[in-house]
Chain A
Amino acid sequence: MKRNPVGVIGAGSFGAAIANLLAENGPVLLYERNKEVTELMRTERKVRGFDLHPNIQLANSLEQVAANCYLIFPAVPSQFFKSMIIDFSPYLQPNHIMIHTTKGLHCEFDIDKADAKTIRLKDIKTMSELILQETGIVRVGSIAGPNLALELMDKKPAATVVASRFDEVIREGIAALKSERFKVYGTRDILGIELTGVLKNYVALASGAMSGLGYGENARAMLITRGMAEMIYIGHALGADKRSFLGMAGIGDLIATCSSPKSRNYTVGYRIAKGEKLDDILASLGEVAEGIRTLKIGKLIVDHTGVKAPLLRIIYKVVFEGLPMEQAVKLLMRYPVTADAEYLDL
């Protein structure tokens, strides 16, 4: 049987990695809005320094992807996601299945000008909510897990979770992605998966900053454990169950991003601790670090809902208000302790 190609939107590092993974199981149609990057892929068959899998074809338009693929993986940063999905929307029908890979949130307000008191939580949307809002697609899913793009490109083993309220979407996602070096789990808890994927960003940033100070693995383990607890509380305030936070996309992803200098969020934190200016770091990075947006949105959420979240609040001060990292660590160490693993009772 001739297989329909699977669509991928966005050839950023994660989009490219996922396209290469999908290509191992069949044809892939990849769309990238940046014409230079597309041209480079076309002529050199290279993406982000890696070889483009021979099964990958390049699409000229979103329309072409919609016409040829029923299963589509958008891999577009959260700040550009809405405009992409609006452009895409006219070509999409309810027979399309969309599984997004974006670990970010969208806000219907300007996050730099918003007042935490007056925002409405319903104006903060996960990418799946955005897809449902802006298109006629109903079968929506999300993937998240310990999936550092560079390691995936290097063909190293990894695992991920596909989440959707539709078992069918989970099955389609697993069939398209799984391979001998990529293990794919499934869950119906899409909100949990999306939120854990997002919230881990700022914990990774904090982890990078700790390393920048030269702290060791004990400190990192403490950070990861309490960071996860805090993620569970924030997720809870947004209506998510704790379950997914304890799974592959939660603790799994957290360990990977908090330990690896290959993670962008980690890198940003590391360089801040080393005394670099945020603007300079972002400029030299070239790609989006979702952690910075997550921090801003997360701060609005915790201020609005009254979740304690000491780690988020202090890291926010470090990144945006110039609090020295050493000072931040002192504050965190002084923060009163709770019972151990108390979040399990939530």
Chain B
Amino acid sequence: MSGREYKPSEYPLPYVTEDLRQWPIYKLTEHKEDFVSEVKQRVKDKLKARFGSDKTLREELAKVLYQERIRLTEKPWKADPKDERQFWSSMKSKLIQLEQLETTSPINEEQLLDEIIDRYANEIVGEFDLGAFSFARAILPQFFGRILAAAPGKWFKTIAGNVRTIHEKIPLTGDIEKIRHLSSKGTVIVVPTHFSNMDSIMVGWLLNEMGLPAFLYGAGLNLFSIGLLSYFMSRLGAYKVDRRKKNTVYLETLKMYSTVAIQRGAHSIFFPGGTRSRSGHLEKKLKLGLLGTALETQKLHYKNFPEETAPKIYVVPCIINYHFVLEAESLINDYLKETGKERFYKENDEYSTSFKLIRFMLKFFSASSSLSVSFGEVMDVLGNEVDDEGNSYNHLGQKINVKNYFITNGELKDDEQRDAEYTKILGERIVSNYYRYNVVLTSHLVCFTMFELIRKKYKGYDLFTLLRTPVEDVSLPYAEVVNAVSEVKEKLKEMQEQCEVLISPELRWNIDKIIEHGMKNINLYHTASPLTKNGDYMGSEDLKLLYYYHNRLDGYGLEKLFNK
């Protein structure tokens, strides 16, 4: 692909598969019992094979129980089942029994493992309910439509009118026809960037508007404590992911759930960054565990089917660009607090009631004039580009057979270390897509430029000192900002030519208008405005937020423009 520009895609589109009962996710629910028992059995087999002897298994179980006890005392959530404590203390006494009685015990380690896996699998499982889906499909456009139509007068427009408004407000770019076509030939895995709790709802809804069958996705367990949201999510293909649980047994169960679902053809959404980006940066490091299930499943398909009929798995990066992120303040505070101190972030429970969530969405949609979503290249599980028919081509344009990656000496071989390396390669290609298909919005451009100018002005300050600078001191002549924005914009245009980034259509405007548009959009939500303009000067009321939005364009080497 050479030189390009941003091109919005036309949507909504009719369903690729009209009959909802033919959707893979529907079939998954139809055979739910069979599906869940396959998950349980396979993860049991896998872990038993890995931990082998009773003693190693017992040690592993002790680890699980220990981690679970800590979770229960330190991070209890509303979404936790009522009998959680009871279950784990009974597990604990059984394990103690085992340790004391050794051979005479009526239970053994494997049974304990089975019980834990059963519990985890039953917690994770979601379903797809035709009734709930039809209801959501009928009601959501109105709901979105109303809150999206910023002018109060539009609230009472016809449904059709409102629908048009939503799609105008959320421009989409990417090869949508290819994604649609391949969804009927194989299994599609969409891997979006993650900035907000809105992401999964947004992506799920957009994929629906693109006419694709419903996608399976993992949603944070904390979101399931919100009554209304929980009702729909658990019926619309969401399975529960508890990020507090980091023990092997849980992670393996989760991965197996995803593997078996993909193997059964369920299109899925993975957030490969794991949690929301705290700093506002585009994800650079991905969590490869869940991503690895895509590769694993592809390998299983090659094992189970003859080469010509083996279903193929397609990975599609997706970049969501908000002018502002609702959780920005708490995210960047988390980031700054935790930088360098702790590896794992605390999962905040910011939106704990339906009311809070709806208020939050209302504010979001009524405020935002636009956000932008773009899809990257459609790739195979190694990150090679695929054509419209699903054939893979390497970086040299040579047609390749994906099965060959798993073949050594003529035979398809299992090799965890090799597959982990392959997944790293896929991860690198996804990250590269994030950068190359990121759509630069006016607010990103202005925030980036402002922050870099401030950084230049206070050269020698470290980040934390800089962020604590009194906002009154931070003002820059408007003319200086205009010049710098113009320079960054020109560089971005060049980069778009080189396929290194995409720029939104608004960036074609003159600089005054760009700055105005960026300011208007970003300031609509936050109480302290990240960008302010006072006569001939520009400033900021919240440097942390400004830094957060600036980070969106970090990693492109644009800061070099300020060090001349």
Contacts and interface: CB of A to CB of B under 8 A. Distances in A.
A135 to B, nearest CB: 8
B418 A95 contact: no
Contacts, number: 48
A28 B382 CA distance: 31
A194 B410 CA distance: 28
A343 interface: no
Interface string B399-440: 011101101111001010110011001000000000000000
Contacts of A4: 409-410
Interface string B206-225: 00000000000000000000
A97 B418 contact: no
Most chain A CB within 10 A, of B408, B410, B422, is at B408
Contacts of A136: 394, 396, 398, 400
B404 A166 contact: no
A189 interface: no
Nearest to B409: A70
A18 to B, nearest CB: 19
Given A90-B398, A136-B400, A166 B410 contact: no
Interface in A141-189: 165-168, 172
A138 B422 contact: yes
B405 A138 contact: yes
Contacts of A168: 408, 413, 415, 417-418
A29 to B, nearest CB: 15
A138 B382 contact: yes
A303 interface: no
Contacts of B405: 94-95, 138
A70 B408 contact: yes
Contacts of B415: 167-168
Contact of B418 (A93, A134, A166): A166
A260 interface: no
Interface string B108-145: 00000000000000000000000000000000000000
A286 to B, nearest CB: 35
Nearest to B425: A138
A138 B384 CA distance: 12
A166 B417 contact: yes
A70 B417 contact: no
A89 interface: yes
B1 to A, nearest CB: 18
Interface string A93-137: 111010000000000000000000000000000000000001110
A90 B265 CA distance: 33
A93 B417 contact: no
Helix, strand, loop or mixed for chain B's interface? mixed
B282 to A, nearest CB: 22
Interface string A75-105: 0000000000000011001110100000000
Interface in B454-485: none
Contacts of A90: 398
Interface string B377-406: 000001000000000001010101110110
Given A70-B409, A136-B396, A167-B415, A93 B404 contact: yes
Interface residues of A, number: 19
Contact of A167 (B410, B417, B422): B417
Contact of B404 (A89, A95, A167): A95
Contacts of B407: 70, 95
Contacts of A138: 382, 405, 422, 425
A230 B405 CA distance: 39
Contacts of A70: 407-410
Contacts of B396: 89, 134-136
Nearest to B415: A168
Contacts of A71: 409
A92 to B, nearest CB: 8
B401 to A, nearest CB: 6
Interface in A2-45: 4
Contacts of B422: 138
A167 B404 CA distance: 17
B560 to A, nearest CB: 15
Contacts of A139: 418
Contacts of A165: 421
Most chain B CB within 10 A, of A71, A93, A136, A166, is at A136
Nearest to A166: B418
Nearest to B403: A95
Interface string A42-80: 000000000000000000000000000011000000000
Nearest to B405: A94
B398 A89 contact: yes
B250 to A, nearest CB: 27
Contacts of B398: 89-90, 136
Given A134-B396, A166-B421, A97 B401 contact: no
B404 A94 contact: yes
A206 to B, nearest CB: 38
Contacts of A166: 417-418, 421
A95 B401 CA distance: 9
A134 B398 CA distance: 11
Task: State the 5 A-B residue pairs at the shortest beta-carbon distance, nearest first.
Answer: A95-B404, A136-B394, A95-B407, A94-B404, A94-B405
Interface of A: 4, 70-71, 89-90, 93-95, 97, 134-136, 138-139, 165-168, 172
Interface of B: 382, 394, 396, 398, 400-402, 404-405, 407-410, 413, 415, 417-418, 421-422, 425
14 contacts: A89-B396, A93-B400, A93-B401, A93-B404, A94-B405, A95-B405, A134-B396, A135-B396, A136-B396, A136-B400, A167-B417, A167-B418, A168-B413, A172-B408
Given A94-B404, A167-B418, 4 more contacts: A93-B401, A94-B382, A138-B405, A168-B408
